[in-house]
């Protein structure tokens, strides 16, 4: 094994690719060779490093120094000063904007334990960290019912928004007798400001695959699909390579590890319809039909893809499974709260000092997430609100900054974890403008299958546009809430049932802003 004096981790993501990271890496390798450092410095292309929106970024270990917004012209001084002489270049460092050092918390990570550390395109790197040991254990040392019981005992709840217990969902499908069963991964992440699943897949595609394999074994599915939005080109490429490598290594295929169990994994690319994030609409799309939600019951666990029993799970949900099977449910329950075990992945956006990706224990307060993982508010600004859970989420005011971010605690305030997005707004941002953007999105994404959603989203957009222009009244504001409440009770699927969350929280917590704009 070759040992290096330092490791330079370069985050390869959609953001850094757009910033020209490929040519940057070539130039950096050339400069290291020129300086005679190729045998001393390991240059590793990895997944997201935890902070984003900062162009080309890299981390130097063991110094634990982060650099941001790098250009090829920065390479000579970076190599000469830091990598050769051991003197970090303060002007290029992420911390140069202040004393805050982003807290990436690798020790407490489960889902992101490898992200930003290993090469996501190397199956050997994943295996070297203990990868696929849980799959081997599940396949050769556990019965399907034992796998399900372990997941039930762990308390793992779905991370796609609904929070339904994963083990119970699997338990519906496992005992059914069917010629074919399926598992489908919901990677159709179409909500504004939401991309935690993308970063999970970019940083460690094998962990998702391992969780998917274990789920398939537990419920007796021999065919699985990953339904992913077409814009996630890097994810698709890395997932396909991971699948191909698994097939070549005999980790999936026929009679895996001589267990008698067969498994195939296939990627299905979606066309970007938000409604296809709803599990039955996604199944319709997989079958080649228009992405319209189905009537439930029957639920997919009983009659799903091609009317066969089908388990549908979110990316983050399945990425938790390898840890549970390998380390055990009791170890998993050491994270989070008794009612909501484990960790949660968030993307923190907006008016914070350091937008980024973090994974924290369930029950961590919103204040802690913003202050310790995003560096607090941007200099000179004050906190006004946080839109938690994406477009289908809620606006939380300053008085709720200490709310615990878990399913049970948020439910007390009619709030949700949702998609894992936290959009922070300063005191100069307009709640009305943000609500207008949200309702425009819902109007655009309504599939038109049911009248309450088709007509309701149109009327909500008309009203918020009128209010935004200063032409509305408080009667219009209250009418929005009435329409949204009617949609909640009558819409066919979660898309039409969701606008009430943002509307109600905006009006209840920031009513003065609506009064001010309607009385101009």
- Which element (helix H / strand E) includes 151? helix 144-154
CA torsion through residues 186, 192, 193, 199, sign = positive
Sheet holding 310-314, edge to edge: 264-270, 223-229, 182-187, 310-314
Q: Report which of residues 108 and 440 the model is more confident about.
A: 440
Residue 193: pLDDT band with limits 50, 70, 90: confident
At residue 370, does pLDDT exceed 80? yes
At residue 97, does pLDDT exceed 70? no
At residue 310, does pLDDT exceed 80? yes
pLDDT value, residue 104:
54
- With a pLDDT cut of 70, the percent of the chain lying above it is 97
Q: Which two tokens stand for residue 364?
A: 């961590």
Mean residue pLDDT of the chain comes to 92
Q: Which two tokens stand for residue 394?
A: 């809620």
**DSSP-derived secondary structure for 19-62:** TTHHHHHHHHHHHHHHTT-TTTEEEEEES--SB-SSSS-EEEET
Residue with tokens 């946080």: 386
Residues in a beta bridge with 260: none
The CATH architecture one would assign to domain 343-426 is Roll (3.10)
Residue 96: pLDDT band with limits 50, 70, 90: very low
Instruction: Write down how long the chain is.
Output: 520
- With a pLDDT cut of 90, the percent of the chain lying above it is 77
Instruction: Name the packing angle between helices 166-173 and 144-154 (round to 10°).
Output: 150
Domain segments of the chain: what residues? 6-102, 123-332, 343-426, 431-518
Distance CA 118, CA 471 (A): 55
Once rounded to an integer, what is the mean pLDDT over residues 393-409? 94
CATH superfamily of 6-102: Glutaredoxin (3.40.30.10)
Are 368 and 405 a contacting pair, CB within 8 Å?
no
pLDDT value, residue 500:
96
At residue 75, does pLDDT exceed 80? yes
Express each pLDDT in 445-454 by its tens digit.
999 999 999 9
The CATH architecture one would assign to domain 431-518 is Up-down Bundle (1.20)
CA nearest to 269, candidates 312, 226, 315, 321: 226
Q: Which of 156-160, 410-414, 458-462 has the least mean pLDDT?
A: 410-414
Q: Is the omega angle on the peptide bond into residue 297 within 30 degrees of 0, that is, cis?
A: yes
Cα-trace Rg, the chain:
24
Q: Indicate the fold that domain 123-332 takes in CATH.
A: Rossmann fold (3.40.50)
Residue 509 vs residues 15, 413, 433, 505: alpha-carbon distances, Å: 34, 11, 15, 6
- Between strands 383-388 and 421-426, the pairing is antiparallel
Residue 2: pLDDT band with limits 50, 70, 90: low
pLDDT value, residue 98:
43
Express each pLDDT in 211-228 by its tens digit.
999 999 999 999 999 999
Residue 357: pLDDT band with limits 50, 70, 90: confident
- Which element (helix H / strand E) includes 372? helix 366-373
Once rounded to an integer, what is the mean pLDDT over residues 82-107? 71
CA torsion through residues 148, 143, 110, 193, sign = negative
Once rounded to an integer, what is the mean pLDDT over residues 97-123? 73
CA nearest to 159, candidates 293, 268, 318: 318
Residue 431: pLDDT band with limits 50, 70, 90: very high
Are 126 and 132 a contacting pair, CB within 8 Å?
yes
Are 78 and 152 a contacting pair, CB within 8 Å?
no
Per-residue 3-state assignment (H helix, E strand, C coil) for 84-115: HCCCCCHHHEHHHHCCCCCCCCHHHCCCCCCC
Are 9 and 58 a contacting pair, CB within 8 Å?
yes
At residue 102, does pLDDT exceed 80? no
């Amino acid at each position: 094994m070759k040992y290096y004096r330092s490791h330079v981790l370069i985050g390869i993501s959609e953001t850094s690719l757009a910033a020209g990271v490929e040519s940057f890496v070539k130039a950096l390798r050339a400069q290291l060779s020129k300086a005679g450092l190729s045998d001393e410095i390991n240059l590793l292309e990895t997944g997201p490093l935890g902070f984003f929106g900062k162009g080309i970024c890299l981390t130097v270990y063991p110094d634990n120094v982060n650099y941001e917004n790098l250009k090829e012209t920065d390479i000579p001084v970076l190599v000469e000063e830091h990598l050769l002489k051991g003197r970090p270049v303060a002007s290029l460092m992420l911390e140069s904007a202040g004393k805050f050092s982003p807290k990436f918390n690798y020790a407490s990570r489960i889902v992101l334990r490898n992200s930003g550390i290993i090469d996501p395109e190397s199956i050997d790197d994943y295996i070297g960290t203990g990868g696929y040991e849980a799959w081997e254990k599940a396949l050769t040392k556990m019965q399907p019912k034992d796998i399900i019981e372990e997941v039930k005992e762990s308390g793992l709840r779905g991370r796609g928004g609904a929070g339904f217990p994963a083990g119970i969902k699997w338990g519906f499908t496992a005992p059914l007798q069917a010629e074919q069963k399926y598992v489908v991964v919901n990677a159709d992440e179409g909500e504004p400001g939401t991309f935690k699943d993308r970063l999970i897949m970019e940083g460690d595609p094998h962990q998702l695959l391992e969780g998917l394999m274990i789920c398939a074994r537990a419920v007796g599915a021999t065919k699985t699909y990953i339904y992913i939005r077409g814009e996630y080109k890097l994810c698709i490429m890395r997932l396909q390579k991971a699948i191909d490598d698994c097939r070549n290594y005999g980790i999936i295929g026929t009679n895996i590890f001589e267990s008698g169990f067969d498994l195939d994994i296939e990627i299905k690319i979606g066309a970007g319809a938000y409604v296809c994030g709803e599990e039955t609409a996604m199944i319709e799309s997989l079958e080649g039909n228009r992405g319209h939600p189905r009537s439930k019951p029957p639920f997919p666990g009983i009659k799903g893809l091609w009317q066969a029993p089908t388990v549908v799970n979110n990316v983050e949900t399945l990425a938790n499974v390898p840890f549970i099977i390998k380390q055990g449910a009791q170890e998993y329950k050491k994270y989070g709260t008794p009612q909501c075990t484990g960790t949660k992945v968030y993307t923190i956006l907006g008016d914070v000092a350091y937008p980024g990706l973090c994974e924290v224990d369930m029950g961590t307060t919103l204040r802690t997430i913003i202050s310790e993982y995003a560096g607090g508010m941007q200099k000179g600004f004050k906190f006004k609100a946080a839109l938690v859970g994406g477009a289908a989420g809620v606006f939380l005011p300053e008085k709720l900054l200490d709310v615990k971010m878990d399913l049970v605690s948020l439910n007390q305030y009619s709030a949700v974890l949702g998609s894992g997005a936290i959009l922070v707004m300063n005191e100069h941002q307009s709640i009305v403008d943000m609500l207008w953007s949200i309702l425009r999105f819902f109007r655009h994404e309504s599939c038109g299958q049911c009248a309450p959603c088709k007509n309701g989203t149109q009327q909500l957009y008309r009203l918020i546009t009128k209010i935004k222009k200063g032409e509305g009244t408080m009667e219009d504001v209250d009418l929005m809430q009435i329409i949204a409440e009617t949609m909640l009770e009558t819409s066919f699927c979660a898309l039409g049932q969701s606008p009430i969350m943002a509307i109600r929280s905006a009006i209840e917590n920031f009513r003065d802003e609506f009064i001010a704009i309607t009385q101009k």
